[in-house]
Amino acid sequence: MNQDLDLIGLVAGLGLFLYGMRQLESGLKRLVGGSFRRFLRQSTQHRLASVSGGIVATAIVQSSSLVGLIVLAFVGAGIIPLVNAIGIVVGSNLGTTFTGWIVTALGFRLDLDTYALPVLGISALGYTLLKDRWQAFCLFLVGLSLIVAGLGFMKTSVATLATQFDMESIRDLPLLVFLVAGLILTAIIQSSSATMMITLSALHAELIPLQAAAAIVVGADLGTTSTIIIGSLQGAIAKRRVALAHFIFNLVVGVAAFLALVPLLYVISDWLQLKDPLFSLVLFHSLFNLLGIICFLPFLSGFTGLIERWIPEEPYAMASSYIHNVPAKVTDAALEALRKESRALLLVAVRMNMKALGVKGSALPAGTDFSYERLKTLEGEIVSFAILMQQERLQENEASGVERYLYITRRAVFSCKLLRDVAADMEYFSEHPVASLTLGYDELRRFVIDTYRQVLELLSADHEAEFVRGDKEVEVRIAEDGKVLAKEVEDDEEDDDKDD
């Protein structure tokens, strides 16, 4: 009966730890989300910077899954190249080992359990009453106190279970069994940090020897790839490439670490004279990941090229080129993808309209020919994506950006519809027997074509905001010229009626 209770305590502690990690991640995302994503975007200058960025970012937010999500979004939006994304993901492997250092230094050395419940209560109250950044900070404290409480449950339960098991039967198991156990456990609970906490608790209670704990940690690094693999099965090409690179890196480094497990532990215990098994374990975890990064870094570009050949580009059924690669919840990456998508649609619309106005050959802007139906499909995808973005907590500049790109998209498609609707009228005016009407139509047509050329200049300078302001002025000018032409048509028809 006591053994059942201890197992329940272990599961309860694991549940509190995992839920605390999620709340901690949510609080940090709201506290440093924008600056954190800007930091990742800037960590793309060269290979070493991207790897270092992955290490620092994961050490700060304590979540390789959050870092991976943002990286996948940035790759899909075309913000960072694949080689830098792989560098960040590789670096996040080392960054996630900082969890073990923090817990070993504090959770097993200081009695924090007595403070967990009061901090949880106060921070939960603050989360209920406060708003904005203070609310996010309270959510961070809620997560932190739940992690401490969960760790306390696990330590107590594992220590009790240690007295109820035959230690010799566990010690005699081959290390491969512990590696597989760590892999399976991490794949099930989807958290290598949680597996690390359970392993540290078991090692602290002397339930398993150091070599067995090290094998479990190696298995946990392999098991953590299951999250990104599952998430990429139905994903875009870039997402699958990053997932494959992450898996191969962890597989190669994990196999090498397992084969070198005994020598590495010997170096730690005998050369470095580190006798504490908990610190020996977290140092082993950090050391084999660091050595893996050092060995991998010189071949990062070639490895990226190999991944690109293994997973080549393929035609995509949707009309969009950018937004289908990016989750709307990563708002800055999503806004960049929306900007690129609306710009691409605008270029297609300009090309379509200039062709409709009689521009031919080299005078047309370069681009892909779209049918009007495909253009409408792209508009629908952009609008749907923008709606998803508007359901997130957007900053003022992000919200105005979404509105701006929606405006550009809708007006561009509407212009194509108008030209389709008046195609017969344009043919009528171009061949009208009254010279003044033909000249008026030609003047209006030339003005519209010149306007499109100005739009192309703005786009080449990447000034969509200026285009939006200028577009309203163009609307007024075209409307005025249209009224003049309509008045001339009306006068001509009246003259014809008089002649009859």
How many CA atoms, within 13 angstroms, populate the side-chain half-sphere of residue 179?
15
Residue with tokens 């900082």: 98
Nearest to 459, CA basis, from 468, 470, 451, 467: 467
Q: Give residue 329's pLDDT.
A: 81
290 three-class SS:
helix
Q: Give residue 364's pLDDT.
A: 73
Burial class (CB in 10 A: 0-12, 13-18, 19+), 294: exposed
The amino acid at 428: Y
Helix axes 82-95, 47-61, angle to 10 degrees: 40
CA dihedral 293, 299, 300, 303 (to 10 degrees): -120
Q: Give residue 398's pLDDT.
A: 87
What is the rounded CA–CA span in Å between residue 444 and residue 212? 81
The amino acid at 239: K
Q: Give residue 316's pLDDT.
A: 47
pLDDT digits (tens), the chain, 500 positions: 455 556 777 788 888 887 887 787 677 767 765 666 666 666 656 778 888 888 887 877 666 766 776 777 677 666 678 888 889 888 988 988 888 888 888 766 666 667 788 888 999 999 999 887 888 889 888 988 888 788 777 777 776 665 555 555 677 789 999 999 999 888 887 778 788 888 888 888 888 899 999 999 999 988 887 766 765 665 567 778 888 898 899 999 999 999 999 999 999 988 888 889 999 999 999 999 999 999 999 999 899 989 988 888 655 455 677 887 787 888 888 888 898 888 888 888 888 888 887 887 766 777 667 777 888 888 888 998 999 898 887 888 889 989 999 998 998 888 888 877 777 666 666 666 666 667 766 777 787 778 778 777 777 655 544 444 444 554 544 455 455 545 555 555 455 445 54
What is the rounded CA–CA span in Å between residue 314 and residue 292? 32
Q: Give residue 202's pLDDT.
A: 85
- For every residue of 162-228, DSSP letters joined together read HTTS-HHHHHTS-HHHHHHHHHHHHHHHT-HHHHHHHHHHHHHTTSS-HHHHHHHHHHHHHHTHHHH
CB-CB contact of 440 with 488 (8 Å): yes
Q: Give residue 230's pLDDT.
A: 67
CB-CB contact of 458 with 464 (8 Å): yes
Residue extents of the structural domains in the chain: 2-310, 323-499
**Which residues touch 372 (CB under 8 Å, ≥6 apart)?**
352, 416, 417, 420
